[in-house]
Amino acid sequence: MKYTWERRIERAEQLARSVAHARQILAFYAEVLKWQRETFTHLAGASQNQPFTGSFEVDHSILLDHFGSLLDLAKRQGSEALAAQAEELAAESKSWKDWLAASWHGERAPEESFFARVCLQPYLELLANTNTLPFDSNLTAFAATQIGGLVEAQPHRLCPFCGRKPQLALLSNETHMPGMVEGSAEGGRRFLMCGDCLTLWPYQRIACVNCREADPYKLPYYSAQDTPNIRVECCDACQHYIKSIDLTKDSRPVPPVDELAAIPLDLWAYEQGYTKIRPNLAGM
């Protein structure tokens, strides 16, 4: 099961044609994926001559070379609000590095970091593919401090590669999945996926991803009739939720794409007073 750029783009275009409520978002996301594919290809080619260090401070210049074209894409095809933000950023090119760095270190809320997240994602995915740790990120340093003492025996709530919070959960019969770190899931094959570097890691079947609450009576879930394989998994202890995709029922979904398409589930969760653990690129 490989989520190649081509498969992600194809799935986004397919869902844009069939999911009316998310048509505009998915059509634009397909163009974003094409931009990311081109950027990833360029990064991968450049790394053949000089491998990336995993340090944003050292490697950032090649990302800045691509940032302007991402802003151009948003101005042409993004929403009115996104196009306006792109115009403002385009006029302040000297701030681009700081904008990216703030997201790199987790200093800006994910829902306010669309351009930085889109730009950094191919870089983080390439680092993950080559097992080059993003060592100068504050997020990575924070994740490292969580390993030790009592926490060591618990499932990791943060991405074991880049230190970010998971964007979604998966249920799968696969024992080896692309991007998965070593380990075994407790109580069933449940995995968490990082929405930034796409790393997968096992997590216990019955437990809140945010606070580790394990009382099933405090862990309600909800799914819609038109997407029975996708549901929101909530926690009444901490009032957070994550979306989960059951690949044992349907293997066609491409998790980062299908998660974005299931916006009505996010709306339902927000109406019930839950907060998403990590928003997707649409800020939901």
| DSSP letter for each residue of 199-238 | -EEEE-SSS-TTT----GGG--EEEETTEEEEEEEE-TTT
Torsion sign across C-alpha atoms 254, 272, 191, 170: negative
| pLDDT tens-place values along the chain, 284 residues long | 568 999 999 999 999 999 999 999 999 999 999 999 999 999 999 999 999 999 999 999 999 999 999 999 999 999 999 999 999 999 999 999 999 999 999 998 888 899 999 999 999 999 999 999 999 999 886 666 554 433 444 567 899 999 999 999 999 887 655 555 544 444 348 999 999 999 999 999 999 999 999 999 999 999 988 888 999 999 999 999 999 999 998 889 999 999 999 999 999 999 999 999 999 988 88
Question: If phi over 0 gives left and psi between -120 and 50 gives alpha, with beta otherwise, what is residue 159?
Answer: beta
Which helix (H) or strand (E) element contains residue 88? helix 80-90
pTM above 0.85, yes or no: yes
* Domains contained in the chain, CATH given: 5-129 (no CATH), 157-276 (3.90.1670.10)
Contacts of 9 (CB under 8 A, 6+ apart): 30, 33, 34, 37
Distances (CA, A) of 122 to 34, 63, 147: 11, 10, 27
Judge residue 89's burial from the number of C-beta atoms within 10 Å of its C-beta, 0-12 exposed, 13-18 middle, 19 or more buried: buried
Instruction: Output the six-digit token pair for 157.
Output: 């709530």
Quick one: angle between helices 23-49 and 5-18, nearest 10?
170
Q: How many C-beta neighbours within 10 Å does residue 272 have?
A: 14
Whether 264 contacts 21, CB under 8 Å: yes
CB atoms within 10 A of CB 47: 18
Helix H or strand E encompassing 37:
helix 23-49
Contact partners, residue 75, CB within 8 Å, separation at least 6: 83, 86, 87, 90
Counted residue by residue, the chain has a size of 284
Tell the residue number behind the tokens 């926690």, with chain if given: 235
